[in-house]
Amino acid sequence: QVSKQDLTLSTIWQTFINTGKNFQNKVQILSDLYAAMNVSQSIIFVNSRVTAFNLAKMLRDEGHSVSLICGTQMTGAEQISPEYRDKIMDEFRNKVTKVLIATDVLARGIDVPAVTLVVNFELPIDHAPGPNNGKCNYETYLHRIGRTGRFGRKGIAVNLVSEAELELVADIENYFPGTKVDELTVDEIDTLEDRLKKLR
């Protein structure tokens, strides 16, 4: 009996790009990934609603088409109604939209077979008291990257990590036996497009 975890990890090529110390550099690299994200369908995961809205604005300002989904709390400036969230999800499922920015509301239970690329703009962090506090939240990481590679298909996960987050990549490799997270350079972003086209 192959576990779901092993199946997920065996069908997904996990990579990371070192984005350096500058947040704006991370945004620029994400923008550079847009052509690859548009090959099929992609999900960009972030850790907060504020980051989701800010990132959507930054990418749209660059001329990129992105949709956004997060929790339906109705407080603050970042408001999404349940009806609007359902509409965004239906459009994504029906391939009306190709690139979706999401908080972890989407990390479980939503199967969109055409998703071939997951980008972790931020790795999920465990904030629960205990020994894993401040480390990668491995269960959420697995659920996130598992949005690609559905039903035994192959997929790609790209983790954008600042220099301060590099140790989280090592944590992931140590936590999941036999897992290697390969480093991609910025110059290799173009090769992702070709790889993704072969997965379609």
> Residues near 193 by Cβ (< 8 Å), separated by ≥ 6?
35, 36, 39
Asked whether 123 and 159 are in contact (CB, 8 A), the reply is yes
Domain holding 181, by residue range, is 4-199
The residue assigned the tokens 């949709």 is: 67
pLDDT in tens, 45-80: 999 989 999 999 999 999 999 999 887 655 555 567
CATH number assigned to the domain comprising residue 117:
3.40.50.300
Per-residue confidence (pLDDT) for residue 72, from 0 to 100? 60
78 to each of 9, 68, 72, 81, 107, how far by Cα in Å? 34, 11, 9, 10, 19
Strand partners, 136: 125
- How far is Cα 80 from Cα 94, in angstroms, rounded to an integer? 20
Mean pLDDT calculated for residue range 124-150: 87
Give SS3 for 99.
strand
Q: Which helix (H) or strand (E) element contains residue 18?
A: strand 12-18
What pTM does this model have? 0.90
Per-residue confidence (pLDDT) for residue 1, from 0 to 100? 46
Q: Provide the domain count of the chain.
A: 1
Nearest to 44 by CA among 79, 92, 94: 92
